[in-house]
Each structure stands twice: as structure tokens, then as C-alpha cells.
Amino acid sequence: MPRLLVVHHSPTPLVRTLTDAVVAGAHDDAIEGVEVVVRDALEATADDVLAADGYLLGTTANFGYMSGALKHFLDTIFLDAGGALSDDGSGTLGSGGRKPYGLWVHGRYDTTGAVRSVVSIVQALPWRRAADVLEVLGEVGEAERERAHELGATLAALLA
């Protein structure tokens, strides 16, 4: 059975609302045959990544960057998950299989730097972005929850 790994850092009620909607979308009744595994970013491991067929990442935008928890996760799994480095030690475009991933980011004022920071690392993994990034500023209303649900359902449906 294909496995979708959801890795998130959800330290506030607003971000937790988005995370819950993403997970609910991944568990949508219309999608069968996908195992959904949810891990806090500080608990997820390289074994979780290697056992998965697709990924959903969620983070806050903190001072123009992803959360420290998600950065720790990516640092921890990068090489084991097939991350590619150039001769100078910087990330380079990953090769090999291209497993699908999606990303959601919540910020108070701006999410640009957080999105850029995640994408710059993930592009060096053997993953491919399979859905538009969900960027949410400020309050999380019904429209944002629906978009988060759709993101989770999209990734799960790609694996079904």
C-alpha cells in the first residue's frame, strides 16, 4: 500500500488548523488504498522518509525562513533520503526517482522566504512538487481550510 508521509511543525492553533485540514484531506473517503503517516517535524526520521511514496510538509514562516523544526528534519534526513550535493557542498538538483511532495506555509506577514528555503532544499532531493504551495497569511478561515484539505487529498490521490 502506498504511504503518504505528513511532516509538520504546528506550534500554534492557526497552523494546527491547517495541518488538521491537510490530514483530513489525505484521509478523504473518496481516496482508498493510501496509508497516511503523520509526524511532528522533530520526531520524523529518515526511515519514515525512505518508507514513504509521497510527502506533505508544513511549516510556519519564521523571520523569513521555515521553522527551525522543519529545517532540523530536512538536515537530519537529507543525505539518507538521497539529497544531492555539488562539489562545493551546496544542494544541487536531485536525481533518481521523483516522489511527489506538497507544501503548506503559514505566516503572519510574509511566506516568501519560508517557501524559498524549503524549495531550495527539497529540489536537491529525489522529489517533485506535485501541487501548488499553499501559502496562508494571518487568520485561517473556511477558504484556507478547504485549500488545505484539497492539498492533502491531491497528494493522497496521486498515490492511490
Compute the distance between CA of residue 73 and CA of residue 135 in angstroms, rounded to an integer: 20
Q: Are 66 and 117 in contact (CB under 8 A)?
A: yes
Per-residue confidence (pLDDT) for residue 84, from 0 to 100: 66
Distance of CA 67 to the CA centre of its chain: 12
Per-residue confidence (pLDDT) for residue 135, from 0 to 100: 98
Per-residue confidence (pLDDT) for residue 17, from 0 to 100: 97
Per-residue confidence (pLDDT) for residue 136, from 0 to 100: 98
Q: What is the three-class DSSP state of 134?
A: strand
Calculate helix-pair angle for 112-122, 68-77, nearest 10 degrees.
10
Residue segments in the chain with a per-residue pLDDT below the cut of 50: none
Phi, psi dihedrals of residue 56, rounded to the nearest 5°: -125, 130
Compute the distance between CA of residue 39 and CA of residue 101 in angstroms, rounded to an integer: 15
Q: Are 148 and 134 in contact (CB under 8 A)?
A: yes
Compute the distance between CA of residue 156 and CA of residue 154 in angstroms, rounded to an integer: 6
Residues of the chain by 3-state class (helix, strand, coil), percent to 5: 35, 25, 40
Per-residue confidence (pLDDT) for residue 82, from 0 to 100: 86
Phi, psi dihedrals of residue 16, rounded to the nearest 5°: -60, -35
